[in-house]
Structure 1
Amino acid sequence: MASDVSHDKRALRAELRERRRTRPAHVVDSANLGFTANLVELARELDARTIACYLSTSFEPDTREFLNWALADGRRVLLPIARQDGLLDWAEGDGETETEGLYGLPEPVGGILGPIAINDADLILIPASAVDTRGTRMGWGRGYFDRTLGSMEKCPPVFAVVFDDEVLDEVPREIHDAPVDGVVTPTKIIRFTR
């Protein structure tokens, strides 16, 4: 059964990755404006003074304009740094200065704060390949955010950032998959009740 779920997740991730790869540039540009507006709205609504976010890759919804806004607005931004042991360290970032980290992912340049720095966050924004209408998040398969969220004693609101067509009726779920409180798309903010 578990291997069937893992297989289903791999197949769905491949489909979603290809969909993102072939999405027209003008559609992505328009979507990124919506992402920024909705992320700003969410941060203001929650009065999130410390925001844990991520530096988006070229195929993910762009978080950089939102990060620029957050920093200009005097908010503290924590960005993840992947470790070999499967945990995430965090660093305060400026949204611009970055280096290539583990797996070729963008990472902030700055003093490392360690895994427990995430406990200071008022809002956590995480990447996803898809989220279903019950709040089940499917990441990209390395489990970093699932481990991070699963280890937190008191977790602030967690929102995944995905395109509108990546909010699905159902995604395959395994026991370790951490749910999210909501999702931000280019056109809306969706909240889930748990």
Structure 2
Amino acid sequence: MLSQTSNIKRALRAELRERRRNRTSTERESATEAFTQNLIALTGQHSAKLVACYLSAQNEPNTRPFLNWAFANGISTLFPITREDGLLDWAHGDGETEAVGLFGMPEPVGELLGPIAINDVDLIIIPAAAVDAGGMRLGWGRGYFDKTLGSMQKCPPVYAVIYDDELLDTVPREVHDQPVDGIVTPNRILTF
């Protein structure tokens, strides 16, 4: 049986998914340019040479132009690969080939490096449904990133990529939920 908090999270996620689906192509294109510039700036601020970042799905903030920039500028990137046990493997990918992961999300094709590969990155960029003013992240409900972040002994800066209207006053929280250090939106980089 789901807790009251779990039910609230499910309802909020449904609302946020609908908002993303209703964004126009013009809004998405404009946001993509701004996301890209802010992700480039964030990488520079942290002097990151190895970045963990997700491959965006259709209605997510588009990370691909940033990833193309990283590849062209010698920034190595690790991508998450979902596993059935709830953990994430990591891969560098070849920059072009993608597969469909366990939950229909895009994943790179490349040598699997295992869950501990993320311990070597300088910066982690993750998806989110929303983030609150204190840095608590609401994910999409499977807990992969919460497990990963919660298991790291020395975690580099973690930033969630969201639209400006997905920064909320508060998000529902459960004991396993992990906060982020900041967010990247089309209009800003915010560190908590």
* Fold agreement, TM-score > 0.5: yes
**What is the aligned length?**
191
1:52-83 per-residue CA deviation (whole Å, 9 max, x = no partner) reads: 00000001000000001111110110000000
The whole-number CA distance in structure 2 between the counterparts of 1:44 and 1:27 is: 26
User: Aligned equivalents of 2:169 and 2:104: distance in 1?
Assistant: 31
Alignment match, 1:144: 144
Partner of 2:54: 54
CA distance in 1, matches of 2:45, 2:74: 16
* Superposed displacement of residue 100, structure 1: 0.8
- What residue is the counterpart of 1:32 in the other structure? 32
C-alpha offsets along residues 25-77 of structure 1, whole Å, 9 cap, x if unaligned? 10011001000000000001100000000000001000000001111110110
Task: Please show how residues 3-152 of structure 1 align to structure 2 within 5 Å.
Answer: 3-152=3-152
Q: Matched residues in 1 for 2:27 and 2:87: separation? A: 34
Once the 2 structures are TM-superposed, how far is the Cα of residue 94 of structure 1 from its aligned partner?
4.0
TM-score, normalised relative to structure 2: 0.98
Quick one: distance in 2 between partners of 1:71 and 1:93? 11
Distance 1:123 1:93 in 2: 18
CA contact (8 A) 2:93 2:111 kept: no
| Distance in 1, Cα, partners of 2:94 & 2:111 | 12
Contact 2:149 2:178 in 1 (8 A): yes
Give the 3 Å change call, closer, same or farther, for CA 43–167 of structure 1 in structure 2.
same
Quote the offset at 1:96 in angstroms.
Answer: 2.7
Q: Is contact 2:77–2:92 with CA below 8 Å preserved after alignment? A: yes
Partner of residue 159, structure 1: 159
Distance in 1 (CA, whole Å) between partners of 2:147 and 2:43 is: 24
Query: Structure 1 residues 114-123 or 88-97, which shifts more?
Result: 88-97
Runs of 4 or more above 2 Å deviation: 93-96
- State the distance in 1 between where 2:93 and 2:34 align: 23
Cα distance in structure 2, aligned partners of 1:75 and 1:172: 35
Preserved CA contact (<8 Å) 1:132 1:169: yes
* CA distance, structure 1, for counterparts of residue 190 and residue 59 of structure 2: 22
Whole-Å separation in 2 of the counterparts to 1:18 and 1:96 = 29
Kindly indicate whether the alpha-carbon contact (under 8 Å) linking 1:163 and 1:186 is maintained by their aligned counterparts in 2: yes
The answer (yes or no) to whether the contact 1:64–1:95 under 8 Å persists in 2 is no
Q: What SS class does the counterpart of residue 124 from structure 1 fall into?
A: strand
Partner amino acid for 1:153?
Q
- Hey, what does 2:189 align to over in structure 1? 189
State, as a whole percentage, how many aligned pairs show the same letter.
65
Give secondary structure in 2 for the equivalent of 1:65. helix
**Letter paired with 1:164:** D
Residue segments in structure 2 that go unaligned for 5+ positions in a row:
none
